[in-house]
Amino acid sequence: MNATRAYLPAVALLLLAGLIPVLVAANTVLNFIVFTLIIALAAQGWNLLGGFGGQFSFGHAAFFGTGAYATAILQARYGVNAWAGFAIGIALSAAVGWMIGYLSFRSGLRGSYFALVTLAFAEVFRILANASAFTGGAAGTLVRLDMRPENFQFASRAVFVWIALALVGFVLIMTIAIGRARFGAWLAAVRENEDAARALGVDVLGVKLKAITLSAGVTGAAGALYVQYYLYLDANIAYGAWISVEALIAPIIGGIGTPLGPVIGAVTLHGLGELTKLFAGRIPGIDLVIYGALLVAAIAFAPDGIMGLLRKAQRRKDADKATDQNVTEGTL
Amino acid sequence: MLEVENLVAGYGGADVLRGIGLSVSAGEIVAVLGANGVGKTTLNRAISGLIRPSSGNIRFLGYDIAGKGPPAIVAAGLIHVPEGRRIFPNMSVRDNLILGSYRRGKPARAANLERMFALFPRLRERTGQLAGTLSGGEQQMLAIGRGLMAEPKLLILDEPSLGLSPLLVEEMFSLIGRIAADGLAVLLVEQNVIQSLELASRAYVMENGRVVVSGAAADIAADPALKHAYLGL
């Protein structure tokens, strides 16, 4: 596939999404979009490690929370500029990712053992953040409301939509580029068969460490963005299992190991959740029921996610076209 | 080209290799024979850097490679095709082959792909097919082809005939002969004694982590007492 064809759908989708805040001014809609984009970003991070590298993490909350807490605490306690705090938050999440990766990959943890270790790390972080005075304990941490661009706070929600879109778009393009680069091929080799990859001379530990560092940085950016938008954080938001689950379900629904998968998955899941809340709002928890049903359906009927279904349909169409051509050219 | 001296290696403190020595010269096919569990695969893994030897020397083209990691060893020109056809099942045949070429850079890739397809015409027919859907023999060819994409100077083949039908075993051995005829050295680790001795110029027989017999393949093949004692023939 040539470069234009690889990047075009992603760029087109981003530009279209960028128009939404111009056309729609309702705060609930913009709220929904920002939240969905934050989830999409966290899921894009998970997808780099889990989808492309085949290392299933159950504890991406560890990175989301670190990005969020670092950004919040640096501002609230040390008066650091919000944008600098945002950057430091991403760097710290990446560092935590590298550390967890180093400890678990070096000792050869794979599959469900790796998943359990990441879950344990996230839980330990949650308990520590809930108990420590440094993070504000159970009362949480507030970022002071001061709506100025230099504080990474904006009176208009539309600006947040664009910033979130820019981040999601940046990671989307980075992911497509990785998929086409040598690093992407090595990641796929590690995912497909670690022993064979090693015998081919792939530095398996190095590839995995690079992947988890990058992955953690991206999910950390989602956490940092979350805190700038909601200006409040506690341990259950930052390190809670909810975000670990969101980060892995969106790629599974959307299409694991595809660049667009996590974004499509997040939009589908939360879009459906919102719609059911809107139309069946009087039945409490109905959106969660839809959520569960969708997950079961996805695993049963579309193990490659929505992207997998689209690709299959495209292939069928191409095959039909080829048949038609053969018929008209008289070769069949 | 490859010299191994007093190599000791194993897993978690238990030594499997207890002082192995062997050598391979340029352009030569050398067979390593022995029953199950004598340490043939461990020997391969130690030479190619997949496990770290606890003592001994491994020299390849004059470099000391004992204790080096696989990336460095592969870069030096030694490729190990592990047993059991470890291909990448959910990738196309073409992508499997290309993954073998990354250490050699892009310019040589197209020429190497063409070379592999000439060597394995079956793979050309199946370029776009997922590797996991190939037959056992085709998967083994793919694994060897993927190794050759890195333009190795020495190829270590671990049980290439494992699980293949007799007809395919025949084909596999003639193929290895053809590859070596191009000047590539091959260290062939096999349980298929008769065919290996026919193909190789020299052979080592292993037992209990040591080399018990070594010499010209023809001499070993001609000695019934020896074959009976160590190779169960």
Q: What is the DSSP string of A75-87?
A: HHHH---HHHHHH
Residue A318 contacts B where some CB pair is shorter than 8 Å: no
Q: What is the pLDDT of residue A281?
A: 67
Residue B86 contacts A where some CB pair is shorter than 8 Å: yes
Query: How far is B38 from B231, CA to CA, in rounded Å?
Result: 12
Q: What is the pLDDT of residue A237?
A: 94
The ranges assigned to domains in chain B are: 1-77+154-233, 87-152
Strand runs (DSSP E) across A202-309, as ranges? 232-233
pLDDT digits (tens, 9 = 90+) for A212-260: 999 999 999 999 999 999 999 999 999 999 999 999 999 999 999 999 9
Residue B69 contacts A where some CB pair is shorter than 8 Å: yes
Strand runs (DSSP E) across chain A, as ranges? 141-142, 232-233
pLDDT bracket for residue A331 (50, 70, 90): very low
C-alpha distances in angstroms, A288 versus A115, A255, A260, A284, B123? Answer: 24, 21, 24, 9, 49
User: Residue B74 and residue A188: Cβ atoms within 8 Å?
Assistant: no
**Cα R_g (chain B), whole angstroms:** 17
pLDDT digits (tens, 9 = 90+) for B89-100: 989 999 999 988
pLDDT bracket for residue A330 (50, 70, 90): very low
Q: What is the pLDDT of residue A322?
A: 63
Residue B63 contacts A where some CB pair is shorter than 8 Å: no
Residue with tokens 């590839």: A207
Query: How far is B32 from B207, CA to CA, in rounded Å?
Result: 11
User: Where is average pLDDT lowest: A289-298, B180-189, B198-207?
Assistant: A289-298
User: Highest-confidence range of A95-109, B149-163, B218-232, by mean pLDDT?
Assistant: A95-109
Tell me, what DSSP letter sits at residue A185?
Answer: H
The nearest alpha carbon in chain A to B157 belongs to A199
Give the per-residue SS3 of A17-66: HHHHHHHCCCHHHHHHHHHHHHHHHHHHHHHHHHHHCCCCCCCCHHHHHH
Report the percent of chain A where pLDDT is more than 90. 60
Q: Supply the pTM of this predicted model.
A: 0.86
B154 close to B79: Cβ distance less than 8 angstroms: yes
User: Residue A189 and residue B71: Cβ atoms within 8 Å?
Assistant: no
Inform me whether the pLDDT recorded for A93 exceeds 90.
Answer: yes
Tokens linked to B77: 């020109």
Give the per-residue SS3 of chain B: CEEEEEEEEEECCEEEEEEEEEEECCCCEEEEECCCCCCHHHHHHHHCCCCCCCEEEEEECCEECCCCCHHHHHHHCEEEECCCCCCCCCCEHHHHHHHHCHHHCCCCHHHHHHHHHHHCHHHHHCCCCEHHHCCHHHHHHHHHHHHHCCCCCEEEEECCCCCCCHHHHHHHHHHHHHHHHCCCEEEEEECCHHHHHHHCCEEEEEECCEEEEEEEHHHHHCCHHHHHHHHCC
Query: How far is A72 from A143, CA to CA, in rounded Å?
Result: 6
List the single best residue of A200, A205, A256 to mutate versus B (max B Cβ within 10 A). A200
Query: How far is B118 from B97, CA to CA, in rounded Å?
Result: 13
Q: What is the pLDDT of residue A332?
A: 42
- A198-A201-A202 Cα angle (round to 5): 65
Inform me whether the pLDDT recorded for A308 exceeds 70.
Answer: yes
Inform me whether the pLDDT recorded for A82 exceeds 60.
Answer: yes
- Which chain A residues contact residue B97 at CB under 8 A? none
Q: Mean pLDDT across chain A, nearest whole number?
A: 89
User: Residue B147 and residue A200: Cβ atoms within 8 Å?
Assistant: yes
Q: What is the pLDDT of residue A248?
A: 92
pLDDT bracket for residue B67 (50, 70, 90): confident
Report the percent of chain B where pLDDT is more than 70. 99
Report the percent of chain B where pLDDT is more than 90. 49
Task: For B98-132, give one letter per residue: b (16+ CB within 10 A) or e.
Answer: bbbbbbbeeeebeebbebbbebbeebeebeeebbe
Looking at domain B1-77+154-233, does it have CATH number 3.65.10.10? no
Q: How many CA atoms lie within 13 A of B200 on its CB side?
A: 30
Q: Give the rounded distance of the alpha carbon of A124 from its chain centre.
A: 22
Tokens linked to A327: 């018929």
Residue B112 contacts A where some CB pair is shorter than 8 Å: no
Residue B212 contacts A where some CB pair is shorter than 8 Å: no
